Chain A
Amino acid sequence: GAVVSQHPSRVICKSGTSVKIECRSLDFQATTMFWYRQFPKQSLMLMATSNEGSKATYEQGVEKDKFLINHASLTLSTLTVTSAHPEDSSFYICSASYSGTGSSPLHFGNGTRLTVT
């Protein structure tokens, strides 16, 4: 089955520093990847849609200058949390699908738990 690898699984950083999270599709090409954030006991919140070779589309309320997304190849997308603050502490999850549309299931990475101290 489709595998999406996300790294790191956990990261602790100091306030003001930047953190990069990688998302790779291991056995398929993903023209579109999605980045979600999930706070405790809440549902998934879509942050942005990442398209290979073009700029990401951000959801309303998500700062594109703070959450930098790069989708340089068909198998890799990265999310960089810049100048992190404690309120950015959350569970970040990437996902991808074969077709990039909403008619095929999303396959999720294992998530990255970010703690900003």
Chain B
Amino acid sequence: GQNIDQPTEMTATEGAIVQINCTYQTSGFNGLFWYQQHAGEAPTFLSYNVLDGLEEKGRFSSFLSRSKGYSYLLLKELQMKDSASYLCAVSDSNYQLIWGAGTKLIIKP
């Protein structure tokens, strides 16, 4: 079966760095997405990786290793507004999105 694993919840301190991991097992691979979702709101797109390596976009970076079925989202200089759920999603061989359950990130002052 197809499976996406990410931690349920993480806690970090304002100003620090946090890494949210995502491992996947899917039938085929056509890219991995990270989305941010604040409570009661719809998800917003953060990043897309289809090739191995690190993609940097401001305070957020996303890494992919296809051979390991692994990705992480790195958030730097954490701000209170970064408190949200972070969703990992993989596009499989049929270009269908397989969603992880999301990681709730709690930022403490």
Residues of A close to B101: CB separation below 8 A:
42-43
Number of CB contacts from chain A to chain B under 8 A:
50
Contact between B44 and A103, CB atoms less than 8 A apart: no
Chain A interface size range: 20 to 34
Name the one of A91, A93, A101, A109 contacting B95, with C-beta atoms under 8 angstroms.
Answer: A101
Please report B residues at the A interface, Cβ cutoff 8 Å. 30-31, 33, 40-45, 48, 50, 87, 91-92, 94-97, 99-102
27 example contacts (A-B, Cβ-Cβ < 8 A) are as follows A42-B101, A43-B101, A44-B43, A44-B99, A46-B97, A91-B40, A93-B42, A101-B30, A101-B91, A102-B30, A102-B31, A102-B91, A102-B92, A102-B96, A103-B30, A103-B50, A103-B91, A105-B33, A105-B45, A105-B48, A106-B43, A106-B45, A108-B42, A108-B43, A108-B44, A109-B42, A111-B41
Task: List the 10 closest pairs (A to B, CB-CB), nearest first.
Answer: A102-B91, A102-B95, A108-B42, A101-B95, A105-B45, A43-B101, A111-B42, A93-B42, A43-B102, A110-B42
Known A-B contacts: A102-B91, A103-B30, A105-B48. Give 18 more (CB < 8 A).
A6-B42, A43-B102, A44-B99, A46-B99, A91-B40, A101-B91, A102-B92, A102-B96, A103-B50, A103-B95, A104-B48, A105-B33, A106-B43, A106-B97, A108-B43, A108-B44, A110-B41, A113-B40
